[in-house]
Amino acid sequence: MNSIEKRDMRGTGRLGLRAFAGALALSVFVHPSLLAAQQTATTGSTSQATLPTWSPLNGSGQTTSDGTAATAASAAPQTAASASATTTDAMATGTVAPDNQTLEPLADPDAIPVEEDIGRQNLRVTRLDNPTADRIRRELDTEDDSGIRLGTLILRPSISQKLGSETEKSGGVKDDRIFSETGLKGTLTSDWSRHELSIGAEGAWQETLSGDDTDKPSANIDARLRLDLADDTIATLSGSYSFGREDSDDPNAVTGATVQSGVHQYGAGASIERDFGLIRGSIAADVMRFQYSDAQLSDGSTLERSDRNRNRYALTGRVGYELSPALIPFVEGTIGRIDYDDVADSSGYRRSADLYGARTGVAVDLGEKLRGEIAVGQEIQKFEDGRLAELSALTVDGNILWSPREGTSIDVTLDTSIDPSTTAGVNGATIHRLTAQLSHDLRTNLVARLTGGTTFTRYDGDAATADTTAYLAGAGLTWKINRHLDATADLTYERTHYTSGVDNDSLTALVGLTAKR
């Protein structure tokens, strides 16, 4: 073959390749149009025909246009898919309509709410103003899958029934009693993308079965609504209620009374907190109501205690500086007023007073390992009655939760309060409390607890003879029988030492069951 013939053969080959490429390109544009026309015709002719769908289960990879699968193996899956979904497989040739497609959820920035705290190193921590309510929430929120959903709220309740024995000894007098105790505890928390509602409550009712009738009911409820406002601003609304009966060894208790006065406390507050870069500021207003019930005397009569009823109003400002995301020192100032319902008490003293206070401390947040705050300061009460000396108290307050290792936690609470006196000429007492609780998981279903505490009650001047010091020590076990039932056993010893008087000792043992949801 000469060179001319070879050149003609190569030209013919190139023409054939060009023809093949053109035919392939034409099929890309023509084939979808033909299929779309076929679908339109098929849909118009019968309502039972299905769109041509390619199935990965079809071994031949062919497209069926009459609604019948190419093989028996692919027929059942295609029928089930058609029954459970109304959209057509996006992989089907000729079925994709670009103008009718919806935006994928991940492509829509508004489809999935973005957590505001993502990427923040220092998450905002609620002030530890009520350690009791925080403890209730920690105890019942350990199981994330527990609880009863009520719309957007989650309720985690528990009920306990215990049998107890109590022995009290004062001097040479010893009193024993057997009693039953029914307790209720629970939390109600919101499951919202913004804001948060949190309610913690616990209560116990005692019924004496034999021995000295000295029932000690108690109740505590705390509710908080956090509102996440714009520009790193948080508003908080709060409400609380607590009830307890005064102990017979309390300095304000009525001597010889068979039933001491019950103390009701009602609280409400509002606060606003804002971040200014490294500086955090807050302002809070609180109202507290103290109400006392009558005491029952041994002769069957009652002694009215309403002259102790009072309201406490306080306005508190706080400024903190962020040294690091985990360490924020702060200063705090308080101004307020204490108003009694009666202008003068039963002894003729006007005990309404102006209130001033200042504190400085530090808030720590190292995650689950260590968090809380502690502060020291001064509180002053200046009474209306000039016969009552100004009451000044050094305050130490705080709550620290430390978990040195998994399954072990230590909860320490410091509290300072001023208890107004009912004795003529005595302004009141400063009460310092320190309590600590150690909890350790011996096994996955067995928890051991140790509790200790000290309470110092100190008076001014000549009234210092009424000073007392109380000690508390306790131990307990909780056996988690299953996720809804616990068995508990507790032993508690209390001793109250009087500067002038006979010491008081109390030993209490409790065993029972707790059902939770």
Across the chain, which distance is largest between two alpha carbons, in Å?
141
Q: How many CA atoms lie within 13 A of 342 on its CB side?
A: 14
- Which one-letter DSSP state was computed for residue 427? -
Contacts of residue 98, defined as CB under 8 A and 6 or more positions apart, other chains included, come to none
* Both structure tokens of 474: 């306790």
Smallest Cα–Cα separation from 218: which of 236, 195, 240, 245? 245
DSSP string, 391-417: EEEEEEEEEEEEEEETTEEEEEEEEEE
Give pLDDT tens digits for 454-482: 999 998 877 887 889 999 999 999 999 99
**CA 489, CA 162: separation in Å to the nearest integer?**
9
**CA 400, CA 131: separation in Å to the nearest integer?**
9
> Cα–Cα distances in Å, from 53 out to 73, 251, 282?
15, 87, 63
**CA 81, CA 89: separation in Å to the nearest integer?**
10
Q: Say if CB 286 and CB 324 are below 8 A apart.
A: no
Element (H, E) at 74: helix 72-84
Strand ranges in 322-390 using DSSP code E only, listed in sequence order: 327-340, 353-365, 370-383
Q: Give the pLDDT of residue 450.
A: 98
Q: Give the pLDDT of residue 155.
A: 95
Order of strands, edge to edge, in the sheet holding 257-259? 257-259, 295-297, 302-303
Domains and CATH numbers, the chain: 131-511 (2.40.170)
Q: Decide which of 381 and 213 is more confident.
A: 381
Bridge-partner residues for 327, per DSSP? 324, 364
**CA 170, CA 168: separation in Å to the nearest integer?**
7
Which range is least confidently modeled, 134-143, 287-296, 364-373? 134-143
Planar angle of CA 236, 238, 240, nearest 5 degrees = 165
Q: Decide which of 398 and 138 is more confident.
A: 398
Helix, strand or coil for residue 203? strand
**CA 322, CA 439: separation in Å to the nearest integer?**
31
Which range is least confidently modeled, 10-24, 169-183, 192-206? 10-24
Q: Is the pLDDT assigned to residue 299 strictly greater than 70?
A: yes
Smallest Cα–Cα separation from 243: which of 199, 292, 282, 171? 292
Q: pTM to 2 decimals?
A: 0.70
**CA 489, CA 446: separation in Å to the nearest integer?**
12
